[in-house]
Chains A and B, each alone.
Chain A
Amino acid sequence: MTEIAEVTKEPKISAIWIIPAIALLVGMWMLYQYQANKGPTIFIQMPQAEGIIAGKTEIKVRSVKIGQIDHVRLSDTQDSVIASAQIDKNYNNLLTDDAKIWVVKPRIDETGISGMSTLLSGVYLEFSPGESKNVKRTFTLQDEPALIGKDVKGGRFKLLSYNAEVLDVSTGIFFKNYKIGQIETAVFDWENQAMKYGVFINAPYQNLITTNSIFWVNAGIQIDLSADGININTGSLSKLLKGGISVGLPEQQTPGEIAQDDHSFSLSQSYKEALEERFYDFDYFLIEFEQSVRGLRSGAPVEYRGMRIGTVVEAPANVIINGRPAHFRNHNTAVPVLIKVEYGRLYHDSASAKEFWRGSLDGWIENGMRASLKPGNLLTGAVYVDFDIYPDAPKAYLGKLVQYDVFPSVSSGITVLADQVSDVLNKVNNLKIEDNLAQMQATFTDYQALANEMRELLSQKDTQNLPGDFNRNFEKMTKSMVQFEITMRQFDKTMASYQAGSELHHQIQQTLKEFKRLSEGLQPLTRGLNEQPNMLIFDKSLPADPKPRKR
């Protein structure tokens, strides 16, 4: 039998390729699996790559590795470093745009010592996930670690400080020496030259922060020198080392409403200043002074007869009218000063105090209330604004300048005194002193000549004897006057006895009457004797009387 040869066509691909093909498939599968398990790649921009090692430096969240730096290179501009990192695919959702990342390394600062474990293991990157829904692949490395995690409960507030010392981030916030929070951010606002702090108060202590809370820098050591001696108060050791910010309420005040997040407070240099700066309910007033405001500073007190009612805000006030400063107006030489009347200083209930002030202001001004500048410190020349009643002040009313009410003013005592001194000096200048001095000189010359003559006269012997003669004559005159006085008294007594009503006067009257009657009785005799002298011896022969006869 013959076998039939079968002619078959040989396959073009050898079977030997099966193995490589399978290997290729396996390899592709593995590549797929690798890519599928690889997770996202993120890029981290950092100023430098100190301690960062590609393929070794890990990225952790709460000490759990979520990725690893796999490549480090310079940026295109060569001013920073770009590190790429592989993140585990299971943590893809953590890569939000508000996430923060920083380097954990050994660190010694005011919060303590941290990152000691990295001395052996090397640095790693701490990743702080955010809460945003947006995914991001590019991050910027933070200089400092985020102190407070997003998941920490509490409240965030803002502090604005113009004068207080600059404090660092993480500085503690203390309530009655108990730490309730810390400074979270600190930014210097160069435009306003003020420090803006963000503070975090841990829950539940954020409820201690009310709208009337005051913040002040706690110096750690307080030294009070008083009549009782020296009193030194120190806080906790951390406060002693780091200082801190104290928060509290003014004495004898009850807590107000709980402050909401992002509420702004002022940070004062001390508790005393905080008490002064705690009045947030106020109104601005302008005062136009017709005198120098030298020595008047912002922050100077505004008082009413020694009771503080406000604060000077600007001296002079930066008020612009028609593009020109108010104190350089054409027809007004007054210098405006901006003050604020803080109603909380008048009464603890600011609303009532404001109503009282606004309702009474016109009447007070009508009765003579005026503002004036008074010296506060003679050494430094500091002055303050004082309100008082001046009944003789010219009539004035509450004016208006731009958006401010303008309170009337009077010149202070110093200015008045200076004006009076100036007037006196002008009068002195106008005096013709030289002429008067010449006349006085001439007069003095005359007096000198007279004095010389008097001296010569007194030096003469006869003149020197005058006092003795004068004394003797004076004694005689005294004796004579005494005698004269005695005589006059006697004369008065004598004359009194002749006055009407006196005994002697009565007797004289009686005598005169009797004398009159006697003379009347003697009339016929004397008339007869006149006509017939011998009538006493011989019978009288007087003519007979004519007889009246009726018609």
Chain B
Amino acid sequence: MKSLFLITNLLLLLAGCSSSIQTATQYYQFEQPIGESSRNVSETDAQLRIQTVVLRGALNNVGIAMKLDSNQIHAANYNLWGESPDVMLTASAQQTLFTAMPNWMVIKGLPVITELDQQTFYELEYEIHHFNGDMQGNADISGLWRLYYTHPETGRRLVSIHNFSNVVAIDDDGYDGLVSTLEKTWLNINLAVAKKIEHARL
């Protein structure tokens, strides 16, 4: 009984001696202010469906990526995205395009049952190769987007492919600056995409 008491005290001592002050983990997300808006299918000319953004490999990690050199990338241990990057980017893109394309019904995810005359629809597919900051003080969002067109009689066909590379200097030091620059860059990318889709449809 005495020996059991001594062992327990020893373990508590060891545990107390081995503990130290932990580094705090930070979570980030796009600010993405949401304006009040609504749109009926009957008021729109066409439908655009945004597929879930695909991020290459570790870029979809919740740890914010930092490019250390040409071939090395670091996923942050203590600065994390508040949600999975693909979900966050998809939601952000849908909101941006919805606002930028007033005559379109912009939706995300799987096909939505709409009016019969809207069974023809466009699909936007993002494939992100860079979504990170680098040691030179830039935020980098690069990759490509594809536009598809689906018709009930002719089926799905590819309309166009666009590569893009946006390396933008961050606004401020730290992960806050990196995140805000990434958000702004992603916003500009989607605005440019909106213009090109409108032009392609014409």
Residues of chain A whose beta carbon lies under 8 Å from any beta carbon of chain B: 516-517, 520-521, 523-524, 527-528, 537-540, 542-551
Contact = CB atoms under 8 A, between A and B. Distances in A.
Nearest to A519: B84
B62 A523 contact: yes
Contacts of A516: 84
A22 B68 CA distance: 210
B121 to A, nearest CB: 18
Size category of the B interface is 35 or more
Contact of B22 (A524, A527, A539): A539
A540 B22 contact: yes
A544 to B, nearest CB: 7
A427 B180 CA distance: 98
A524 B25 contact: yes
Interface stretch (B29-37, B92-100, B164-172): B164-172
Contacts of B62: 520-521, 523-524
Interface of B: 18-20, 22-23, 25, 61-64, 66, 68, 74-80, 83-84, 133, 135-138, 169-175, 177-178
Given A524-B62, A548-B66, A548-B137, A543 B22 contact: no
Contact of B18 (A539, A542, A544, A545): A539
Contacts of A545: 64, 66, 74, 76-79, 175
A463 B137 CA distance: 93
A519 B68 CA distance: 26
24 contacts: A516-B84, A523-B63, A524-B62, A524-B63, A527-B63, A527-B77, A538-B18, A539-B20, A539-B22, A543-B77, A544-B23, A544-B77, A545-B76, A545-B78, A546-B135, A548-B173, A548-B174, A548-B175, A548-B177, A550-B169, A550-B173, A550-B177, A551-B137, A551-B138
Contacts of A544: 23, 77-78
B19 A539 contact: yes
B18 A550 contact: no
A545 B174 CA distance: 10
A270 B175 CA distance: 135
Contacts of B84: 516-517, 520
B133 A548 contact: yes
A545 B77 CA distance: 6
Given A548-B170, A548-B174, A550-B172, 20 more contacts: A516-B84, A520-B62, A520-B84, A521-B62, A523-B62, A524-B25, A524-B62, A542-B77, A542-B78, A545-B74, A545-B77, A545-B79, A546-B66, A547-B173, A547-B175, A548-B173, A550-B169, A550-B170, A550-B171, A551-B138
B54 to A, nearest CB: 14
Contact of A547 (B18, B23, B77, B174): B174
Contacts of A542: 77-78
A516 B60 CA distance: 12
Contacts of A548: 66, 133, 137, 170, 173-175, 177-178
A546 B76 CA distance: 8
A510 to B, nearest CB: 14
Contacts of A546: 66, 68, 74, 135
Nearest to B60: A520
